[in-house]
Amino acid sequence: MEKQVTIFSFFAGAGFLDLGFEMAGFRVAYVNEVFKPFMDAYQYARHCLNLPSPEYGYYLGNAIDFTEGNQKSVLSKLVRIARKNTNLLGFIGGSPCPDFSVGGKNKGREGDHGRLSSTYIDIVCQQNPDFFLFENVEGLWKTKKHRSFYEEIKQKLHNIGYVTTERLINAIEYGVPQDRKRIILIGFRKEILVKMGIALDGLELPPGVFPWEKYIIYPRAKVFSCPWNDKNPFQEDSILECPKNIYKELTVEHWFTNNNVNNHPNSKHYFKPRQGIARFESVEEGDDSKKSFKRLHRWRYSPTVCYGNNEVHLHPYKKRRISVAEALALQSLPKEFAFPSHLSITHMFKAIGNGVPFLAAHALASSIIDFLELER
């Protein structure tokens, strides 16, 4: 069997992060997700994209199962098998993050979701993959209340021999039409870096060693200094020319067109309220100033795609909320990516909001490949 880089995925959701890694050249061999509708979406999307099933299968269950008992033994056995058939083994995961989000529950490490971050780190420490990626909201890294917890999990990883590097990324840097900040923590076994001849001074990679900026296409400073349209009066099916001196490829309208959202299998999947349509009409195109009922601007990027806690995004020039097809486009997914129609619309939008934008995932995976000097 040809050896390659193998990935085990935890908290996989609908598979956006996994898809980015797979398209960059990794082999996703084992997938864990606790919520069946998300797992159904994951498997259905792979079918749409003509991708094979993970070699070691799926585990539908709580990730904490991997830290003790029978499921821990199963995971250990799969890790041993994978090591025989691969050059390197990596774990990737972004545990649910509302407990660290300013707009979410903000319970931190004590919340049910906050504890899952510790669970993922425990799994990494027990199984010792060659490298790992951990993704979470910026609140975990930036908020004083949660930063001590973040530093604790880093120290735990350092204590067992991982060298880490981190960056607060914005998905828009990689071509995602969305202002979405996330903290990314990546770690490598120290012995691997020593073999590569990397000079280490401590247990964090020196600045500039990991190619964080290599796949940045749109530097934040340039993007946010563009003369983006602010607001325009809402008029259904109105025509509005694209302004000059902006990045058109970062706009909502570009991605709606690019993904042919009107003919997408999920184009009709959007919430249809029985009343309150007048409220939809009163919000100007581009007015995203309120907590809820934010109307996107066709010639601007979207605010963070996240649909919990009453977050509602309205179509720029339609008298409705955006559709699942449109939300998938804002997460920069391939146009062939689709959800099964039996899923509830609520579950579809939840899966989308939880996911790592595809182009950001692909860029992060490509950076790891280049850093490790791997062949694609």
- As a whole number of angstroms, the distance between CA 28 and CA 56 comes to 9
The answer to whether the CB of 163 falls within 8 A of the CB of 187 is: yes
- As a whole number of angstroms, the distance between CA 8 and CA 129 comes to 9
Cross-strand partners of 58: 31
In the numeric block, the tokens 């012995």 are attached to 191
Q: What is the largest CA-CA distance in the chain?
A: 65
How are strands ordered across the β-sheet holding 58-60? 58-60, 27-33, 4-10, 86-93, 131-137, 181-189, 162-170
Per the document, the length of the chain is: 376
- As a whole number of angstroms, the distance between CA 366 and CA 133 comes to 13
- As a whole number of angstroms, the distance between CA 221 and CA 50 comes to 38
Q: What is the residue type of 136?
A: N
Cross-strand partners of 135: 184
Helices then strands, counting H and E runs in the chain, come out as: 13, 9
Quick check: helix, strand or coil at residue 322?
coil
Query: Is 226 annotated as catalytic?
Result: no
Residue 293, CA atoms < 13 Å, CB-side half-sphere: 12
Question: For residue 161, what are the CA distances in angstroms to 60, 145, 151, 295, 340?
Answer: 30, 27, 15, 47, 42
- As a whole number of angstroms, the distance between CA 230 and CA 243 comes to 11
Q: Which of 97, 125, 226, 242 is catalytic?
A: 97
R_g (Cα) of the chain, nearest Å = 21
Strand ranges (E), 24-130: 27-33, 58-60, 86-93
Task: Give the residue numbers annotated as catalytic, written as ranges.
Answer: 97
